[in-house]
Amino acid sequence: MNRPALQETTVLPEVREETVLVALAGQPNVGKSTLFNLLTGLHQHVGNWPGKTVERKEGLFTYGGVSYRLVDLPGTYSLTANSPEEVIAREFILQEQPDVVIAVVDAATLERSLYLVAELLALPAPVVVALNMMDVARQEGMEIEPEVLQAALGVPVVPMIATRGEGIQALLETVARVARGEVPYSPRLPQVREDHRPVLEELERWIEGYVPTPYPQDWVALKLLEGDPEVTRMVREALPPERWERAHALLRAHDDAQVAVASGRYEWIGRMVRAAVRRPRVGQIGLTERLDRWATHPIFGLAILAFILGAVFWLTYTVGSPLQDLLETYVVGTLAEGIRALLTPIAPEWLVALLAEGVVGGVGAVLTFLPILVLFFAALAFLEDVGYMARAAYVMDSVMHLMGLHGKSFLPLFLGFGCNVPAILGTRVIESHRARLLTILLAPLVPCTARLAVIAFLAPAFFGRAALAVSWGLILLSILVLAATGAILNRVLFQGRRSAFIMELPLYHLPNWRTIGLSVWQRSLSFIRKAGTVILTVSVVIWALSTLPGGEVEGSYLAQVGRWLEPVGRLAGMDWRLTVALLSSFIAKENSIATLGVLFRAGEEGLTDLLASVYSPAVGLAYLVVQTLFVPCVATVGVIRQETNSWRWTLFNTGLLLVVSFLAGIGVYQAARLIG
Amino acid sequence: MLEELLRILRAGGTHRVADLARALDTTPALVEMMLEELARRGYVRPVAACPEECASCPLADQCIPAQPGKVWVLAEG
């Protein structure tokens, strides 16, 4: 390693008079500490900056027979008084005026590092740029030309890899030459936009002669223009009141200058990067760009999204449905038979029926679609992990704009595909009350995983091989109804003001199977928990209501309620059983399966086969349409009440969804009957 | 450059960082820094993928698209 010769003493106060003072500046995690340790070795002193809890490190080394005192400034991104670290760093440079400032820069994130350099160049100490992490930049496919950067910055630039000790000698040599005044030093500073320059000049006139030493007047004027709180306080105290009033009035009249000063720095960084960096055109970024040309295209992107959704359902049905059949026949059926065989001789008849029909028939039916859910969760987790979900969100957002929906609404709505409850809670990110309200009202129309699971279970039961097309159609229907409802409510509720939305799409990457596995595990566990609590309770209640008073389903209390509601359901082809199943989904969407399981006494005989033999495809389709667009579960309604803080809007939403779902169901049923 | 970025954002619509970088003839990293600057000054607001309120949500674990990349919105008013 090219470590320089070290001075023997570690007692810092005994620094020789001719010692060269060097400050080490840089943002956090650019290798500043590595460089500091490399240069000073064990000759370090660690303490605190006076009056602060920020750590102060300094050390000694000799190079070329000259003694150097190296002070490690706190890691900062800029030198505006936003944090104690930033104030410490700039005050040290201003007060102590080091012979050289080494600005450690991360070559792989040059833009971020250069902001600090832009600020350092304005201070009265010569800067040497240590262009560290050249290896990382190279690995990421970036080619940086240090000599071009040096010419653009007007200050010495030394490429290096501190972790390997590469470039240390060159850095020390450059620092030594700068300290001796042998290197021409003419930094190219960021410029304030032309229309603000007269303001800066006028400001300088007002503060001229009153700026405390050792602060440079032009720097103070610039910081004042930028709205730096510390400098503003210092100048207010230093200026006579009438001068301060004039300067302050000038600043107030040009408060847009704050943005202009920062803007000048970004412009400057942009120029430096354009000059010295060649970006990768191949590899990961290139692949992401190439894929995104299709995935985020306004038309192809939507087609790809539709295709991917279709593929997810295809996979779910092709692999999941046979597994579900097996579970239904061998696990649920065997369990119900086993309970009957074991308990009939020793337990009362009602208890056997409760366990075999109520618990196994209800909860068992729901648990059989665990394979379908696991596959579905895995597919979504995979899409999320490889980075596709962000593209799906982006593509859908454009559609929402076309439909007159608010741009901010897409995120919460998108969350709705997971669960409507977080979707409604997520609307808190929307500031506009009316836009938020509209999003809350629309969120229940996004098919959540529970609804998708019900579709995934019932569609194959009613439609066999056509289940994929039907499921795909139901999701499309939900989105179309959402868009149409949104467009209508948007026109009625607010005038569709456009708002800007900025997304950073992550790079595509290979899936992390552990993350996907963990996500699937958590979601499946949560589903099983729900089956063991809410769905179990509802199954037992439904069983009791469908058994009492006489033990026959047809004469039960539930049948009486169902028949009372049947006329409404009949319009959509639904008998009282389907109507009751729909109502029970208000507690939790999966309950509709559990209820049908109990009502059809599914246990030994699979529910899917029973449903297929009882209901026509027209009835099945109408039921699925109503179920997909129906009032959300009670948890969602509760959150709607909580977030709108209004029973009126909650009831309006419930009523709206009741009307929309039944109208759609009736329409579909009547159309299907006409077609035959 | 910040003013130009603000002008584009104020025209409305949905933007990708990469597209903004192309429009401003700069890099996505610099656009991201500028968005952070505008966020510090209150012109834009970063949207948490899952808002703070979700931390206490019992369903947070099930939330499917929890990380759709970084998102900002133009502050209203």
ipTM for the whole complex: 0.84
DSSP state letters, A106-175: EGGGHHHHHHHHHHHTTSSS-EEEEEE-HHHHHHTT-EE-HHHHHHHHTS-EEE-BGGGTBTHHHHHHHH
A418 with B62: Cβ contact below 8 A: yes
**In this model, does residue A232 exceed pLDDT 80?**
yes
B53 with A504: Cβ contact below 8 A: no
Considering just the CA atoms, what is the radius of gyration of chain A in Å?
Answer: 35
Task: Encode pLDDT of A589-644 as tens digits.
Answer: 887 888 888 888 766 567 788 888 888 889 999 999 999 999 888 778 888 888 88
**In this model, does residue A75 exceed pLDDT 50?**
yes
Owner of token pair 């026959």: A552
B27 with A273: Cβ contact below 8 A: yes
pLDDT score at A416:
76
**In this model, does residue A553 exceed pLDDT 80?**
no
Give the pair of three-digit tokens for residue A100: 């050289």
pLDDT score at B62:
47
Mean predicted confidence (pLDDT) in A651-667: 93
Mean predicted confidence (pLDDT) in A16-20: 71
Contacts of B6 in chain A (CB under 8 A): 259
Owner of token pair 């400098």: A231
The C-alpha angle A481, A487, A492, rounded to 5 degrees, equals 125
Q: Give me the residue from B33, B65, B71 closest to A503, CB to CB.
A: B71
pLDDT band at A493 (very low <50, low <70, confident <90, very high): low
Q: What are the domain boundaries of chain A?
A: 12-179, 194-278, 300-495+514-675
Burial of residue A386, with CB atoms counted within 10 A of its CB: 0-12 exposed, 13-18 middle, 19 or more buried = middle
Among the listed residues A78, A130, A73, A126, the one whose alpha carbon sits nearest the alpha carbon of residue A107: A130
Q: Give me the residue from A109, A263, A502 closest to B71, CB to CB.
A: A502
Contacts of B54 in chain A (CB under 8 A): 422, 425-426
Q: Which CATH architecture has domain A194-278?
A: Orthogonal Bundle (1.10)
Cα–Cα separations (whole angstroms), residue A584 to A103, A581, A598: 67, 5, 12
Distance between CA A497 and CA A664 in Å, rounded? 30
Which letter does DSSP use for residue A281 in this model? Answer: S
Task: Encode pLDDT of A236-256 as tens digits.
Answer: 999 899 889 988 998 888 878
Nearest CA in chain A to B40: A82
The C-alpha angle A134, A137, A143, rounded to 5 degrees, equals 90
What 3-state class would DSSP assign to A617? helix
Reported for A605-610, long-range contacts at CB under 8 A and 24+ positions apart, including other chains, are A605/A333, A606/A325, A606/A328, A606/A329, A606/A332, A606/A333, A607/A328, A607/A365, A607/A461, A608/A324, A608/A325, A608/A328, A608/A457, A608/A460, A608/A461, A609/A461
- Domain B2-74 of CATH type 1.10.10: yes
Distance between CA A348 and CA A345 in Å, rounded? 8
Distance between CA A126 and CA A100 in Å, rounded? 5
Task: Encode pLDDT of B9-41 as tens digits.
Answer: 888 777 888 889 989 988 888 998 999 889 888
pLDDT score at B55:
55
A429 with B48: Cβ contact below 8 A: yes
Mean predicted confidence (pLDDT) in A529-537: 75
Mutate to test the interface with A, among B52, B62, B70, B72 (most CBs of A within 10 A): B62
Mean predicted confidence (pLDDT) in B41-51: 71
pLDDT score at A444:
93
A273 with B30: Cβ contact below 8 A: yes
B3 with A499: Cβ contact below 8 A: no
pLDDT band at A13 (very low <50, low <70, confident <90, very high): very low
Mean predicted confidence (pLDDT) in A307-320: 81
pLDDT band at A556 (very low <50, low <70, confident <90, very high): confident
pLDDT score at A410:
67
Which letter does DSSP use for residue A17 in this model? Answer: T
Task: Encode pLDDT of A78-113 as tens digits.
Answer: 888 778 888 889 999 999 899 999 999 999 889 989
Mutate to test the interface with A, among B64, B67, B72, B74 (most CBs of A within 10 A): B64
pLDDT score at A220:
92
- Determine how many CB atoms are found less than 10 A away from the CB of residue A122: 17
pLDDT score at B66:
45
Average pLDDT of chain A is 83
Phi, psi of A322 (to 5 degrees): -60, -40
Give the pair of three-digit tokens for residue A635: 């948890």
pLDDT score at A29:
85
pLDDT band at A408 (very low <50, low <70, confident <90, very high): low
pLDDT score at A1:
39
Q: Give me the residue from B3, B53, B73 closest to A501, CB to CB.
A: B73
Cα–Cα separations (whole angstroms), residue A196 to A232, A250, A428, A485, B3: 18, 11, 39, 49, 13
Which letter does DSSP use for residue A366 in this model? Answer: H
Give the pair of three-digit tokens for residue A106: 């991360």
pLDDT score at A407:
55
pLDDT score at B72:
77
* Pairwise pLDDT comparison (A535 vs A674), residue with the higher score: A674
Shortest Cα–Cα distance, A210 to chain B (Å): 29
Contacts of A397 in chain B (CB under 8 A): 14
B67 with A522: Cβ contact below 8 A: no
pLDDT score at A660:
93
B29 with A384: Cβ contact below 8 A: no
Nearest CA in chain A to B32: A504
Contact present, A223 and A233 (Cβ < 8 Å) = no
Dihedral of CA atoms A295, A298, A304, A309 in degrees, nearest 10, equals: 110
pTM for the full predicted model: 0.67
Contact present, B44 and B74 (Cβ < 8 Å) = yes
Considering just the CA atoms, what is the radius of gyration of chain B in Å?
Answer: 14
Mutate to test the interface with B, among A312, A502, A505 (most CBs of B within 10 A): A502
Task: Encode pLDDT of A46-59 as tens digits.
Answer: 777 776 667 788 89
- Determine how many CB atoms are found less than 10 A away from the CB of residue A588: 21
- Domain A12-179 of CATH type 3.40.50.300: yes
Mean predicted confidence (pLDDT) in A121-149: 91
Owner of token pair 């979601």: A523
Among the listed residues A407, A482, A416, the one whose alpha carbon sits nearest the alpha carbon of residue A447: A416
Buried b (16+ CB within 10 A) or exposed e, A536-554: bebbbbbbbbbbeeeeebe
Count how many pairs of residues, chain A against chain B, have C-beta atoms within 8 Å: 185
